A and B are shown apart, each in its own frame.
Chain A
């Protein structure tokens, strides 16, 4: 099917790639259906485009490419909502990337990852009760540090 989007223009998607977020995404609770579109071949970046709101698109990324030590714990009750039983087989994790005007200062939201069951195509943004992470971790840590050092001088 062909869909209209503000950010990516007109794109063709396969209906069996549509992912449902039964609770939406915080701030966009009414947007329940999404597709994930790679930014490029072998790129760790993807677009998460809403099918319910053509204006709503997020840049997301594979967290372990940038944060190899990233870890978090989702309670079983939350995973069961996604129908996940065998985690390794079904679970895919992305984090939302926010890119300010200086792209070197791009940050990843490690506090609230996107957890997706790739088999039944159900996803959620997991909101933890507590976490060692925040909503903004620099993905280009060295570059961000040098930009910030420059500001201080």
Chain B
């Protein structure tokens, strides 16, 4: 990992089309301005992490429902009744 020290007003340039401006620094909060092509995905790290965690939780909850309520699988009932 590359670690750089930057001051307010300075920039970081990545490849030839991504520019990160250090807009402001207040205590432990840094405000960044990011200029990048539209097809580059940018999101706060914790949003992606939160969605990963929520997806895993939802999958675990569904797996637990199967153990708790085996009769819940209405899909199978519908399928059987059609046959």
Which residues of A pack against B, CB within 8 Å? 6-9, 11, 25-28, 37-41, 43, 47, 55-59, 75-77, 96-101, 109, 111-112, 125, 127-129, 135-136
Contacts and interface: CB of A to CB of B under 8 A. Distances in A.
Given A58-B59, A96-B58, A43 B47 contact: no
Contacts of B58: 58-59, 96-99, 109
A41 B54 contact: no
A129 B46 CA distance: 11
Contacts of B57: 98
B43 A98 contact: no
Contacts of B73: 7-9
Interface stretch (B3-11, B13-21, B23-31, B34-42): B34-42
Contacts of A135: 50-51, 54
Nearest to B81: A41
